Structure 1
Amino acid sequence: MQRQRAPSKVPEVTLGFWIIKIFATTLGETGGDALSMSLGLGYLLSTAIFTGVFAAAVAAQIRASRFHPLLYWIAVIATTTVGTTLADFADRSLGIGYAGGAGILSLLLLASLFTWYRVLGSVSVDTVSSTRSEVFYWITIMFSQTLGTALGDWTADSMAMGYLGSAGIFGALLLPIGAAYLWTGVSRTLLFWAAFVLTRPLGAVIGDLLDKPVNHGGFALSRYAASLVLLGLILLCIALFRQRPAGGGRGTVRAE
């Protein structure tokens, strides 16, 4: 006999999901830089502030009884802002460097996915419908967002590709993932996490392109103005794109 699983509180993966995700990751970069650089709070204090926001947002998301698009995306934005300042703190203040930071975070991401799979048997978003799976989901997202910041900085700075060139690289890497989704039978779960990781550095370098000084290859836009515009675009997309819970909102557990 099969019984119903609790309703999923994460969204179905659609084109609208990816558009909002890229806007959210770009906002994470400009918002994180606004606090740590423009306000001069530094990476460590900014990370502490954003970690508190992240913890509160994820706790509210886990306590919710059903899927709320606005609440979900607030939690995602919180992961991108703390990921931005945390990666910058590790790479720059601790002197680990972009390559070292990216390597450590890659291992943490893989360890999170491996542990999640070993404990619950799946890392598919369609199965995120219990407190334990939600905890794994948000920890994994946190590592992926932080990794994305390090990858974006590594490509733009250490590899000297610049922000625009780096955006082109990460955009190009996403194309075969989209093609594989449309025309092959490659695991949708594998493609999802690959795209989720790569959309973060794409958003990070776009955010840097918008707000970094002209002599560093950016457009020198106000971080506050850019963040407000991006927030407005996210809210507009949430209003325009109809979002449903993953897996149709409900699932089943193993027959007993």
Structure 2
Amino acid sequence: MSNKVPEATLVFWAIKIMATTVGETGADYLAVHVGLGTALTGGMMLVLLLAALVAQLRMRHYVPWIYWLTVVLVSVVGTQITDALTDQLGVSLYASTIAFALALAIVFGLWYRSERTLSIHTINTTRRELFYWSAILCTFALGTAAGDLATEALGLGFMIGAVVFGALIALVSAAFYAGANPVLTFWLAYILTRPLGASLGDLLAQPRAYGGIGLGVIDTSLLFLSAIVALVVYVSTVEQRALQLRAAAARNLNPQRSKRQIR
């Protein structure tokens, strides 16, 4: 298999942040506004996630729409896991943040012990991809818990929370360009984009009385989903062109083999 995940470009980070926002607002809409509740919403999204993950694992190369659909569903499920622990079981955000951080550390430890790398540039076996998606799920759950801890338990609010997490991502980016370990900085940024996206989503969706802008969860979700679809269509077009160019290059390098295939 070729690498199954996209490069960490500007478009990648834009879609990732918006996917986390949709995970936050979408989960709230289904659980609260539709009235499905946390348990039913989580169960439904888990079934959809498993179906999307099976489709993703069956692909032999990176397919943008399947990959990003899986990310959005992981975002919703990760949010629901944290919300279920907090709202249904009464687990404190301090405890859940620590627990998910430990879970992520365990996944990384097992991943590195098995593969000797945590790089996203070589997700080209099923085992590596399973480690990758396990880490992704843990980052979403951890990011949700850490974001809620900062904005709610510590009282930062949505606006200050978005500024703080945005500043932390900027620091990680600066460290990367200064020569810090690229694998470490990638995963730190990946974790931090979850609470950033959640803070932005709550800032836009929540009523003004609660410190938000009052756009509502429906309009916020539709706005970001539309932007995600537009960007995924764009990266799908770019990916398809790249595949065509690689196929053409392979035929040019081995013309005799191409002639035999035609015959």
**TM-score w.r.t. length of structure 1:** 0.90
In the TM superposition, structure 1's runs of 4+ consecutive aligned residues that sit over 6 Å from their partners are none
Cα distance in structure 2, aligned partners of 1:130 and 1:65: 9
Write out per-residue CA displacement over residues 161-198 of structure 1, whole angstroms, 9 at most, x where no aligned residue.
000100001000011111112222x2111011000000
Alignment of 1:16-95 (within 5 A): 16-95=11-90
Cα distance in structure 1, aligned partners of 2:33 and 2:212: 15
Question: Which amino acid counterpart does residue 154 of structure 1 have in structure 2?
Answer: L
> CA 1:243/1:215 → structure 2, altered by over 3 Å: closer, same or farther?
farther
User: Counterpart of 1:165?
Assistant: 160
Question: Which amino acid counterpart does residue 163 of structure 2 have in structure 1?
Answer: G
User: Counterpart of 1:253?
Assistant: none
Question: Which amino acid counterpart does residue 194 of structure 2 have in structure 1?
Answer: R
Secondary structure of 2:6 counterpart: coil
Cα distance in structure 1, aligned partners of 2:39 and 2:142: 17
User: Counterpart of 1:115?
Assistant: 110
* Contact 1:27 1:207 survives alignment (8 Å): yes
* Contact 1:54 1:75 survives alignment (8 Å): yes
Write out per-residue CA displacement over residues 70-105 of structure 1, whole angstroms, 9 at most, x where no aligned residue.
111000001101111111111121111211111111
User: Counterpart of 1:8?
Assistant: 3
Structure 1 position 117, deviation (Å): 0.6
Is 1:205 the equivalent of 2:215? no
Write out per-residue CA displacement over residues 25-65 of structure 1, whole angstroms, 9 at most, x where no aligned residue.
11111111111111111111111111111111111100112
Secondary structure of 1:24 counterpart: helix
Secondary structure of 1:12 counterpart: coil
Question: Which amino acid counterpart does residue 167 of structure 2 have in structure 1?
Answer: A
% identity of equivalent residues? 38
Structure 1 position 239, deviation (Å): 3.1
Q: Figure out how many residues of one structure are paired with residues of the other and give that number.
A: 240
Alignment of 1:98-109 (within 5 A): 98-109=93-104
Cα distance in structure 1, aligned partners of 2:119 and 2:60: 20
Which among 140, 152, 177 is matched to residue 172 of structure 2?
177
**TM-score w.r.t. length of structure 2:** 0.87
Q: CA RMSD in A?
A: 1.6
Cα distance in structure 1, aligned partners of 2:204 and 2:40: 24
Structure 1 position 118, deviation (Å): 0.7
User: Counterpart of 2:221?
Assistant: 227
* Contact 1:12 1:243 survives alignment (8 Å): no
Unpaired runs of 5+ residues, structure 2, are 247-263
Tell which structure's C-alpha radius of gyration is larger. 2
Write out per-residue CA displacement over residues 194-245 of structure 1, whole angstroms, 9 at most, x where no aligned residue.
0000000100111111222222111232312211111110112223454599
Q: In terms of mean alpha carbon deviation, does 132-141 or 235-244 score higher?
A: 235-244
Cα distance in structure 1, aligned partners of 2:124 and 2:24: 29
Structure showing greater relative contact order (alpha-carbon pairs closer than 8 Å, 6 or more residues apart): 1
In proportion to residue count, which structure has more helix? 2
* Contact 2:206 2:216 survives alignment (8 Å): no
* Contact 1:61 1:72 survives alignment (8 Å): yes
